[in-house]
Structure 1
Amino acid sequence: MTSGLVDERVDVRDTGMCGGGVALADEVASVGGMVLVGDADRGAAPEAPSARRGSGKLWAWVKLGIGLAIVGALVWKLGTAGFVAGIQVIDAADVVAALVIGLATTVLCAWRWCLVARRLGLRLPLGRAVVDYYRALFLNAVLPAGVLGDVKRAVEHGRQEGDVGAGVRAVVLERMAGQAVVIVAGVVVLLVGPAREIGMWIAAFVVVLVVAYLVARRSIGVGSRWRRTVDDVRNGLLARDAWPGVALLSALALAGHVTLFLIAMKAAGATQSPEQLLPIVVVALLAMGLPVNVGGWGPREGVTALMFAAAGLGAAQGLTAAVAYGLLGLVASLPGALMLVPRRRERVA
């Protein structure tokens, strides 16, 4: 499946992936063993490509196994009713809302990508960025790893601009910016909002998951030799003429994702006010950043069910809400499927 996404082997040196881009960086390093990203520190002997491919494949299976284990635990504990209900509660109005919100958030995220890419010296028109971003969202939603669409847009853009490393770094930094805003919003909501006590417990649970993820990565050697590229972060995200636009676009995109999640929760029968549901939404979005899922499924459903139970709303309803959000997210990405067709025709021609 992955061989159709990346057609040839690419060796990218010193990509400097860090922070929220680690998941994407891992996948670029291990997807089919065909794209090799990251290397040893300067002056150190590089790791053999076969070893990198082996550890990358192992880590890919570990991530998939963790995601399947979470989904399996939910089925064992709550049954399949929550998953089935997540499909049944969605109506036509929800689908239309998903498509409209998806268009808005995709344009905002593509615009953010343009800002970061241009700061790294890459050309990226907004129209092309929107098409590539839609395509990436759809592939992320339907392929197991959850980030293969981002791998595709990163590598393809880098090839077109003659610098695969810069293309990958632009996508990683763009994803980092979005995750950073989610983290900031999560801290504010959980520490200031009415659900402080519940939020602190759930936040601690998420921190434990993150630490366990980092320990697992280190134990099997994936990404342990990658370094931060301070210049790229400073120039691509933190420059005076870059960070205000990146932060604003990220905040607006986050507002769209939060709105879609609230729609899913209302469809699942939640009658609480948005202020009461907001902490659950933010923590669920934080959990989605964990790269231990099956096509995006797993941590989001587990954390949402857990938070609904902690709030006295019922874990089954939380699972239904998370499933509904996942399906609405898939609906929002469907225009990306249409954008795969012209690319295939070009190859045939």
Structure 2
Amino acid sequence: MKRRDPIVPPMRSEAILPVPTRSGHKILPLLGKVGLTVALVGWLMSQADWAGMAHRLANAPLPPLLLGLGLSFLAVLFAGERWRAACRATGLVIGPVKALMLMAASLFFGQVLPGAIGGDAVRGWLTWKEGQSPGAVILALVLDRLLALLGVCLLLFAGLPRLAAVVPPDMAWMLPVLVLLGVAGFAAGLSIDRLPLPGALRTHRLVNAAFTLVARLRAAFLAPATLKALGHSVLVHICTLAATLLYARAIGLSLGPFDILAVMPTAIIATALPISLNGWGVREGTMVAGFALFGVPFEDALLLSLMIGLSVTLTALPGGLAWLALSRGSQSASGNAVSDRTHDR
């Protein structure tokens, strides 16, 4: 079955499943992630009182734990809706169930593969196999990733007053200022195709392709569906914050909602950085350091971070079933197409 525009560099099989390579430059980043993860997790484990943490968790009441896990699953639903809205903003039409399955499969591979980008590649590949335009799929992936980051940045600024109450203002504003600079730079980049550049440069093939992508991304940002996608992005992170609060209360921590709001957006941003294996170690270290500002002991903050990490893993597991269902559906559709062509002969 022919497909439009078969050359889709970001969707190569190498981007979906790790394959052996002779070039060391592809192995070194992975080794760096493994090294940092092992170092951080090893240090945290060596400092923790595991018997005390296990006792605290064993005595935690079950209802808030289950409710927190339920909120984590609810976050997956909102993430699926964010993907559907991002696709609509780029001209793709995907049903709610299909969008949820695509997002679930993406989250599953985001845990299995060394990095969230692998999960994005799987989602893009599966969406493309549904017969969608590869260019629009890539654009939707970029938009979805940016909106996920923008959503947590909004919560970062919402928690800034509480954070500024416990740390010096210059420290509290450090990350928000970097975010503002990044947003300003990105906004300027969206208008780069409107600069009065020389005609010879503008007509260059690569420059023209880049300007076309910028124009399409700008149009997608201005689409009405993008605002809806941003709302779902914020809801995803609110579910994570609410689950953190429930887990904290379950293990006896007296943290308030604004304490969670002051720490967790930074932890989410740090976890998203491609410097460790799926955020492990970085998330725990950030939460331990952040909640220490509010008087939370090391072991309690570490236990809380591990509970969040375990929730993320548990909510990603059903994505394996979603991937199998999507793969079988795609194979069935391909088989029907081949059968139809055979009968036409």
TM-score, normalising length from structure 2?
0.71
Q: Over alpha carbons, which structure has the higher Rg?
A: 2
**1:120–1:166: 8 Å Cα contact kept in structure 2?**
yes
Q: CA deviation at 1:304?
A: 0.6
For 1:307, the aligned partner's letter is G
Pick from 194, 209, 214 the counterpart of residue 230 of structure 1. 214
Q: 1:60 to 1:82 in 2, by over 3 A?
A: farther
The aligned length equals: 297
Q: Distance in 2 between matches of 1:86 and 1:329?
A: 21
Deviation per residue, 1:201-239 (Å, 9 max, x gap) = 37748999xxxxxxxxxxxxxxxxxx7942243122333
Structure with the largest fraction of helix: 2
User: Which residue identity does 2:236 align to in structure 1?
Assistant: A
Question: Corresponding residue for 1:71?
Answer: 41
Q: Which whole-Å deviations, capped at 9, do the CAs of 1:268-292 have from their partners, x for residues lacking one?
A: 3211222233212222222222122
Shift, 1:80, TM fit: 4.6
> Residues 298-309 of structure 1: matches in 2 within 5 Å?
298-309=281-292
Distance 2:117 2:295 in 1: 34
Counterpart-to-counterpart distance in 2, 1:203 and 1:137: 31
CA-CA distance at 1:344 after TM superposition = 6.3
1:153-168 equivalence runs, <5 A: 153-161=123-131, 163-168=133-138
Tell me the equivalent position of 1:220.
none
1:335 partnered with 2:331: no
Using the TM superposition, name which of 178-187 and 86-95 deviates more: 86-95
Per-residue deviation, residues 130-185 of structure 1 (Å, max 9, x unmatched): 01212222332344434433221112212433543432331232121011111122
1:97 corresponds to which residue?
67
Give me the whole-angstrom Cα distance separating, in 2, the residues matched to 1:313 and 1:64: 28
- Give matches, 1:21-36, under 5 Å: 32=18
Relative to structure 1, is the Cα distance of residues 85 and 324 closer, same or farther in structure 2, using a 3 angstrom cutoff? farther
> Which residue type is aligned with residue 32 of structure 1?
P
Q: Give SS of 2:93's match.
A: coil
Structure 2 unaligned blocks of 5 or more: 1-5, 179-209, 336-345
Tell whether the 8 Å contact from 2:156 to 2:265 is kept in structure 1 after alignment: yes
1:175 maps to a residue whose letter is R
Q: CA deviation at 1:300?
A: 0.8
RMSD of aligned Cα (Å): 3.8
Partner of 2:8: 12
Q: Tell me how far 1:323 sits from its aligned partner.
A: 0.3
Decide whether aligned partners of structure 1 residues 82 and 279 sit closer, same or farther in structure 2, where only a CA change above 3 A counts: farther
Change (3 A) 1:89 1:115: farther
Q: Which runs of structure 2 are paired with 1:1-349 in the superposition (5 Å)?
A: 12-13=8-9, 32=18, 54-78=24-48, 80=50, 84=54, 88=58, 92-94=62-64, 96-161=66-131, 163-191=133-161, 195=165, 197=167, 201=171, 204=174, 229-239=213-223, 241-343=224-326
Cα distance, 1:199–1:317 mapped onto 2, change above 3 Å: farther
The one-letter amino acid of 1:137's match is L
Q: Which residue of 2 aligns with 1:44?
A: none
Displacement of 1:294 in angstroms is 2.3
CA 1:91–1:244: 2 relative to 1, 3 Å = same
TM-score (norm 1): 0.71
Unaligned ranges ≥5, structure 1:
1-9, 16-24, 35-49, 209-226
Cα shift readout 1:226-278 (whole Å, capped 9, x = no counterpart): x7942243122333x13321222222222111111212222332112222332
The Cα shift of 1:128 comes to 0.4
